[in-house]
Amino acid sequence: MASSRDDFIIAIRSAFLKKSTQQKFSLLTLVFISIFIIVLSSFDLKFIRYLKAGISEAVYRSSFIVSIPENFLKNTFFEIREYSTFFKNYKINKEELNELKSKSISDKITQFENEELKELINNYTLSSDKLLAKIIVDHDSPYLKSIIINKGSKDNIKIGTNIYDRSYLVGRVVEVNYKTSRVLLLSDLNSNVPVTIAPQNIQAIITGTGENYGEIKYIKEGISNLISQDSIVYTSGTGAIFKSGIPIGRVDVADTGSSKKFKVDFYSDFSQLKYVFAELVTKIDVKNEDQKVDAGNSQINNTVDTKLQILEEEKKIIEQTNLKFKDENELLKITINNLNKQISDFRNEVYDQKQIIAQYNIDLDEIEFLRLNLKFGHTCRKSFLNNDGFEVGTLEYKSCVMNKGQTDE
Amino acid sequence: MSNFKSRGFYIKFYSFLPIIVLFISVLNEFDLNYLKLEYFSFNFPFILIFFFTLKDFKNFDYLLVFLAGLVNDTVVGLPLGISSLSYILICIATSYLRNITIRPNPIKDWFYFLFIISLINSINYSILTLFFSYDLLLLSYLVNIFFTFILYMFFAYLFKYYLKGLND
């Protein structure tokens, strides 16, 4: 018993401490270094942060280069799959595009009104620039859902910067290095986003599931029944982590019998991201009433200027709308003129044809008269033997011929 | 002369291939996740490290394994040191197994591998949830362990061919 315990201890000691001929460090040393690094990385020290950022820069770039062959194969696979559904998608997209074009103008006006109202509520305006960023690493880990983009603190990216795919939210920045950043995707288990569900106007929080969909959690009791299939989910802006009004996805209600599960199908396919937009937001304060009094007329002028600017923008939109209507009017006028011209042409044609018909009728009467004249002319003509007849060429003569030799009397 | 030189380079490259593959796999996160096979994932570095440290492969430096762990943490986004600790623990386990084994048996190694990866993933999970407050799916860990265990024999077979080629 004692000897087997001794053997165990010897084997363990040997495993931990014995260095093979090629090894420079014993395993025990490396275990201690690992634990030391884990403890250090749990502290948010400046030195550690810089070191980590340096390592990350180098590793992300290397990872991007190493991933090129695999990404090439992966992209080829996806492209082939895309081509097989290309025509079907094209038709759907065309229809959608037509619908969206018609909605575009009214949306612009609504957007503008929305901004104006927000400014009135918040006392500040948000000016935002969208920065295009390339995804350099997008390894789909089974545990963590994140991507690395090629923009960092050099490009004013900050922790919490919202990241978009077109106009859809995909996540936010959780780690910033000099030229790269890590974006935590909405599908990650650690992602929580305050949202509004439309049209019911329900406030909730969606969390990632580790899969390619989210789940609605933390809804007030009793109102979950109001949520319907295909309701739209967008950010509510609560907590000021995400900007409000950014579309996220649609609700998919999964009825499991005893309870309902509310999944959110994201508008954006996170596995297909190549480029994303990082939104750089600058907060511009609009001074409140007290500050206005203190600062005097210059600040009033600023507010007036801001309002004027807003009004100018509104004017621009209205002008654009007017221009569009004007163009449409011109087009309609031209169409009407063309139609009128066509009507006039048709009228002329009808008149000509009527003339031809009338002439034809006259000719027909003449022929009838000549035919009857041959037959009854002698009966109607005034002569030595026929005193009751009429002079040739008079109306009475013609009437007599037409009545087949019988006079009106 | 140049032929000898280039042959020497290839032999050297071939003998360092496992460590090169390890670094490529941690940088590339080679796990076929993009195939979207539901729940499918496996940990290739675990298989590679377990096999070559068990064989006491001379060019498989523990320090490089440790560095590969740091790279993996950076790529995946885990706190630094977690994967290094996991990889070094595998090295310790294989070193211990080598010390106590007189007659190696692939099936025993296989089940020992299952025990070790389960233990290491448990430690990993505990550290991440307890000390770093990460939300993690236990199911994906279990599935990952299962597929890593299943695929071990397949890769072990390939690696044996590699070793045979090196000895020839």
Reported ipTM: the value is 0.83
Distance CA B82, CA A159 (A): 23
Question: What pLDDT was estimated at residue A337?
Answer: 92
Question: What pLDDT was estimated at residue A200?
Answer: 76
- Could A140 and B92 be called an inter-chain contact, meaning their C-beta atoms sit closer than 8 Å? no
Question: What pLDDT was estimated at residue A190?
Answer: 85
Distance CA A135, CA A60 (A): 11
**Structural domain includes residue B65:** yes
Cβ–Cβ < 8 Å for A59, B27: yes
Instruction: Return the number of other C-beta atoms located less than 10 Å from residue B47's C-beta.
Output: 24
**Structural domain includes residue B132:** yes
**If residue B19 lies in a helix (H) or strand (E), which one and from where to where?**
helix B17-28
**If residue A280 lies in a helix (H) or strand (E), which one and from where to where?**
strand A275-285
Query: In residues, how long is chain A?
Result: 409
Read off the pLDDT band of B6 (50, 70, 90): low
Helices (H), A207-296: 289-295
Query: Does the beta carbon of A29 lie under 8 angstroms from any beta carbon of chain B?
Result: no
- The beta-carbon neighbor of B99 closest among A14, A34, A139 is A14
Q: Is the peptide bond before A199 cis (omega within 30 degrees of 0)?
A: yes
Distance CA A173, CA A361 (A): 92
**If residue A213 lies in a helix (H) or strand (E), which one and from where to where?**
strand A213-217
Placement of tokens 């890769």 in the chain: B155
Angle at B79 between CA A281 and CA B94, to 5 degrees: 155
Question: What pLDDT was estimated at residue A306?
Answer: 76
Q: Which value, in Å, is the radius of gyration of the alpha carbons in chain A?
A: 44
Query: In residues, how long is chain B?
Result: 168
Q: Which range of residues forms the domain containing residue B130? A: 13-27+40-167
Distance CA A107, CA A102 (A): 9
Q: Which fold, A124-286? A: Thrombin, subunit H (2.40.10)
Cβ–Cβ < 8 Å for B89, B122: no
**Structural domain includes residue B5:** no
Q: Is A271 helix (H, G, I), strand (E, B) or coil?
A: helix
Is residue B3 predicted with pLDDT exceeding 60? no
Instruction: Dig out the tokens for B131 from the structure.
Output: 């000390």
Closest Cα in chain B to A69:
B28
Distance CA A188, CA A348 (A): 76
Distance CA B166, CA A225 (A): 66
- Strand-pairing partners, residue A281, are A128
Name every chain A residue with its beta carbon within 8 A of the beta carbon of B12: none
Mean pLDDT rounded to a whole number for chain B: 85
Question: What pLDDT was estimated at residue B118?
Answer: 94
Contacts of residue A370, Cβ cutoff 8 Å, sequence gap at least 6: none
Phi, psi of A139 (to 5 degrees): -70, 125
- Could B92 and A210 be called an inter-chain contact, meaning their C-beta atoms sit closer than 8 Å? no
Q: Is A250 helix (H, G, I), strand (E, B) or coil?
A: strand
Name every chain A residue with its beta carbon within 8 A of the beta carbon of B34: 74, 140, 271
Question: What pLDDT was estimated at residue A301?
Answer: 65
Distance CA B18, CA A75 (A): 27
Could you list the mean pLDDT of each consecutive 10-residue stretch along chain A, which spans 409 residues?
66 66 72 88 76 83 82 80 78 81 68 70 65 80 80 87 86 88 88 84 85 81 76 82 83 77 85 84 62 56 74 82 86 92 93 94 91 87 81 86 76
Read off the pLDDT band of B123 (50, 70, 90): very high
Name every chain B residue with its beta carbon within 8 A of the beta carbon of A34: 66, 69, 81, 84-85, 88
Among A152-156, A383-387, B2-6, B129-133, which is the least confidently predicted range?
Answer: B2-6
Instruction: Return the number of other C-beta atoms located less than 10 Å from residue A163's C-beta.
Output: 26
Cβ–Cβ < 8 Å for B127, B82: yes
Among A183-192, B25-34, B81-90, which is the least confidently predicted range?
Answer: B25-34
Closest Cα in chain B to A19:
B62
Question: What pLDDT was estimated at residue A74?
Answer: 77
What residues does CATH 2.40.10.340 cover in chain A? Answer: 124-286
Q: How far is CA B166 from the centre of its chain?
A: 20
Cβ–Cβ < 8 Å for B154, B48: no
Placement of tokens 């315990």 in the chain: A5
- Amino acid (one-letter) located at A189: L
* Count of alpha carbons within 13 angstroms of residue A317, beta-carbon side: 15
Query: Does the beta carbon of B77 lie under 8 angstroms from any beta carbon of chain A?
Result: yes
Instruction: Dig out the tokens for A215 from the structure.
Output: 């789940």
Our CA-based measurement puts residue A246 at a distance from the nearest CA of chain B, in whole angstroms, of: 25
Helices (H), A85-147: 86-122
Tally the domains of chain B.
1
- DSSP for A160-177, written as a single string: T-EEEETTEEEEEEEEE-
Read off the pLDDT band of B149 (50, 70, 90): very high
Name every chain B residue with its beta carbon within 8 A of the beta carbon of A271: 34, 36
